[in-house]
Structure 1
Amino acid sequence: GRGLGNFYVDLTRGLTRLLLPLSLVLALVYVSQGVPQSLGGFQTAQLVDPYPTEVEKDGVKTTETVTTQSIFVGPLASIESIKELGENGGGSVGINSAHPFENPNPFTNLIQILSMLLIPTALVYTFGVMAGNKKQGWVLFGTIFLLFVGLIGVVAVSEFNGNPAVNALLGTENPNFEGQEVRFGWAQTALFATTTTGTMTGAVNGMHDSLTPIGGLVPLFNMFLQVIWGGQGTGIAYILVFLLIAVFLTGLMVGRTPELFGRKIEQREVALASVIFLVHPFMILVPTALALVIPGVSGISNPGYHGLTQVVYEYTSAAANNGSGFEGLGDATLWWNLSTSVVLLAGRFLPIVALLALAGGLSQKKPVPATPGTLRTDTPLFGAVTAGTILILGALTFFPVLALGPLAEFAANVAGKGF
């Protein structure tokens, strides 16, 4: 019920006291590791091994020898620091943080992962401070942290075990290295993929389309939930929605009036929380169905289970404001540009309107004094209940599409039938 303050003051403080100083320091760290920082534009390099290519001039085809290559060396260090801290994810070059100019070594890879996590994780603690209950903040932090570590483990184990079909052909057990940089390997690729989709950043240091079926399921699941840290502020907002739902369900089970932050949770709050929760799957599953039904628009490059995952991932990434993709999808078309734009706008702004209405309604309610019968939400037990609510609701909502996509692909691989 306190005043919200001044938007422009908060914006200025966020830029000048947080984002700008951190970006400056991180840019210098990247420069020290060899990331280019210049205004030189494209540089021309002589090829060690020139090659012939066919060109057409005035309708006549001729063969010329290519002896040079243009290499982009712009202000990459400063862009890279802003990209990861601000959780945009769009790289200066097409292969993003897999390129050595953007991410040259394991140390810069670690710095980028920490940059993505820095502000979203801090906001969970900040919430506890602002709510006047640091214990509540730490319970939420611990809940999300355990989910995050568990999901990292799932991707890591899957990538380490590799593709059963490929291993059967090779006659030996090997990690999955398809679409991954040798300097990072399966472990750092798994960690980066889980972090970039858990924080809604969208930067990549390997091809998500080349992950194993279960390895690709986790980034998809992260964006389904949007609470594994989440974006700058959106993560804690969605965590609170799940917290509200968990309070309501728990209150029904134990026969207590649901209360959160000293306010009673009633029909209006549950209805708005349901809207926030349901907008996301609606904006993913309906366009996915349309893309699969309308002839010639899906752009699938791997027909079958993996192709379904490509389409679902594209709309999930747009709705979650992530930006990464299963880049085997042929999405450079009018259909994909327009449909994902609609999904991106609706997936972000509709929940914001409902969140503001929910917050406004709660702020106008009179606080209810805590009693021995009040359900406490700052205990490890309730943290476990919240985690269960997140996983169960997320799994039930999206389980059919997961079963038809990555899970079916995994079963086919185990059976030795490939993708």
Structure 2
Amino acid sequence: MNGYDLLQVIIALFFLILFTPILGAFFHKSLSGQSTLLGKIARPFEKLLYLLIGVDEKEEMTWSQYLKAVLAFNFIGFLFVFFVLLFQGSLPLNPANLPNLSWHLAFNTAVSFMTNTNWQSYAGEATMSHFSQMVALTGQNFLSAATGISVMLVVIRAFKNNQSKKLGNFWVDLNRSVIYILLPLAVLWAVLLSSQGVIDNLSAPVTVKTLEGKEQVIAQGPAASQIAIKQLGTNGGGFFNTNSAHPYENPTPFSNFLQLLAILIIPAALTMTFGYMLGKPREGWILFSAMLIVLVLGLGISLWSEFQSNALTAHHYAMEGKEVRFGVTNSVLWSTFTTAASNGSVNAMHSSLTPMAGGIAMLNMLFGEIIFGGAGSGLYGMLLYVILTVFIAGLMVGRTPEYLGKKIEAFDIKMAIMGILAPSFVILFGTAFSLLTPSIMSSLMHKGSHGFSEIFYAFTSTAGNNGSAFAGLSANTPILNTLLGISMLIGRFAVILPVMALAGNISQKKIMPESVGTFKTDNFLFVFLLVGVIVIVGALTFFPALSLGPIIEQIMFIQEKTF
């Protein structure tokens, strides 16, 4: 690793830190309905939407009403995508005449995009028509991200409220998330990506002659518009099968930087939105700092591993599965950023990472996609760990745990634990079941610890609503499409349900004034405790599984052995 590699890391982290308070303040104003320049332009359109759907924007909901709206809206979104994919062969904008999807692939994909996972058991350019890409999938990229932000707003209001059952209006939060945050940024990013050569058209595939004189079919389509929101909305997925390693999807170093920054820019900014909405910006910086520390630790370990000399890589950098034009550092930056968020896009094949770097990618997801996590979902997931941390701190000092003036009681702890452990159960049970199922084992490309990692990674990615893949697992089968689809549903809604119940309970509590005995949560002692809880919970829950996969493989890698 040289100075140029270090500079790439510094630039990526610098711009992430730079934009966090700027966008965080803008999101706060926009989501709170305060006046902004964009708001003055888009406000008439927002009001028109409320009129069309028959919503009174001043009417607030209880947590249970809000939850019902979230579930109903997402179910309708699932059905829409499911039926579009089942009948795409008969729908317009299909110049390649691509056929309908099978029921199990349509189910898996509809669940995937509705849950903000974007797991893909298919090759995008060879499976999805332009209509499916533009209307069904890209539409859900906006709406699933907006759903996460909306649930996050409920949690913020819960800590801000003083003995109130009202937690806002889902339809208002959803519209504002799309109109004021996701859509403007997506338009800006799409224009910038198009300027770099990312294609965006409605053309049929073209046939060209290669330098060897052979014919090659090159897919076309509306890529830039989908790539912009898939990155910004922490959706992931790819227009092309090779994702952001494809030159049409990611042609230049600047397009690579734009997409890399887009992965974390919204989740990072929402930490400051949290602080500004509560009138305590320092609390936002504390959450941001905890996330950043874990991100940098994982990034450092991954880079160290990738730049180690080893006879298995002919004592060169491990370039297998990586684009030469991006190199090792950009590939590792991406693998760390995309798994720290629930993004899942890739510009290199994660299966070809060194065992330790691949293990860090898994561990980022195993923490619960909270560093920085998905759009909105990362923050409310992190707050579950915050509640667990203040509870442990309260036990240590012998006081009733409090956070932001709200007492944390038995019900709150139960909901926090449920939200943390539900995806963990799915990951471990799904992996164990798959290892005992011959039809799934026959879908594996590799044996030994790497084969185990392929299955473990798949359930980690889907339960964490990430969507990246370790490759080597042929997932487009009825049993895997169904199992992984169920994994995505539980990973999304088994967290949202306890989070909403927790918010409803917290909101009705009285805000307690600070006293000399109040445990401070706005200093770096709390950051240290929070990071410790995150790492310990992740390590204790998944250490045996990680030992069977990347840890054993890393030991063998050091010994210059492979399976």
Question: Shorter chain as normaliser: what TM range?
Answer: over 0.9
The Cα of 1:285 is off from its aligned counterpart by 0.2
Aligned to 1:105: 252
1:371 equivalent in alignment to 2:515: yes
1:40 equivalent in alignment to 2:182: no
Tell me the distance in 1 between the aligned counterparts of 2:190 and 2:511.
47
1:70 counterpart SS class: strand
- Letter of the structure 1 residue corresponding to residue 285 of structure 2: W
Aligned to 2:501: 357
Aligned to 1:135: 282
1:353 counterpart SS class: helix
Tell me the distance in 2 between the aligned counterparts of 1:264 and 1:4.
18
Aligned to 1:84: 231
1:337 equivalent in alignment to 2:481: yes
The Cα of 1:165 is off from its aligned counterpart by 4.3
1:166 equivalent in alignment to 2:328: no
Larger RCO (alpha carbons 8 Å, 6+ apart): 2
Aligned to 1:233: 376
- The normalised TM-score by structure 1 is 0.92
1:214-253 equivalences in 2 (<5 Å): 214-225=356-367, 226-253=369-396
Q: 8 Å contact 1:165–1:418 — kept in the other structure?
A: no
Aligned to 2:459: 315
Equivalenced residue count is 398
Tell me the distance in 1 between the aligned counterparts of 2:379 and 2:421.
17
1:57-206 equivalences in 2 (<5 Å): 67-161=214-308, 164-167=310-313, 170=314, 173-206=315-348
Tell me the distance in 1 between the aligned counterparts of 2:200 and 2:423.
39
1:49 counterpart SS class: coil
Higher strand proportion: 1
2:215 counterpart SS class: strand
Aligned to 1:26: 189
1:103 counterpart SS class: coil
Tell me the distance in 1 between the aligned counterparts of 2:256 and 2:506.
42
2:217 counterpart SS class: strand
Tell me the distance in 2 between the aligned counterparts of 1:227 and 1:25.
26
The Cα of 1:294 is off from its aligned counterpart by 1.9
1:269-418 equivalences in 2 (<5 Å): 269-298=412-441, 299-418=443-562
Q: Cα 1:34–1:187, aligned 2, differ >3 Å: closer, same or farther?
A: same
Tell me the distance in 2 between the aligned counterparts of 1:271 and 1:8.
29
- Letter of the structure 2 residue corresponding to residue 375 of structure 1: F
Q: 8 Å contact 1:165–1:417 — kept in the other structure?
A: no
Aligned to 2:78: none
The Cα of 1:416 is off from its aligned counterpart by 2.3
2:335 counterpart SS class: helix
- Letter of the structure 2 residue corresponding to residue 134 of structure 1: P
- Letter of the structure 1 residue corresponding to residue 500 of structure 2: L
Q: Cα 1:362–1:409, aligned 2, differ >3 Å: closer, same or farther?
A: same
Aligned to 1:62: none
Tell me the distance in 1 between the aligned counterparts of 2:338 and 2:192.
20
Q: 8 Å contact 2:231–2:259 — kept in the other structure?
A: yes
Q: 8 Å contact 2:423–2:494 — kept in the other structure?
A: no
Q: Deviations over 1:165-209 (max 9, x none)?
A: 414xx3xx2111000000011100000001111111111001001
Tell me the distance in 2 between the aligned counterparts of 1:251 and 1:87.
34
Q: Deviations over 1:201-247 (max 9, x none)?
A: 11100100111000101110111112110001111111111111110
Tell me the distance in 2 between the aligned counterparts of 1:123 and 1:237.
10
1:48 counterpart SS class: coil
Tell me the distance in 1 between the aligned counterparts of 2:269 and 2:191.
23
Q: Structure 2 unaligned runs (5+)? A: 1-160
TM-align CA RMSD: 1.3
- The normalised TM-score by structure 2 is 0.69
1:296 counterpart SS class: helix
1:260 equivalent in alignment to 2:407: no
1:14 equivalent in alignment to 2:177: yes
Higher helix proportion: 2
The Cα of 1:6 is off from its aligned counterpart by 2.4
Q: Structure 1 unaligned runs (5+)? A: 51-66
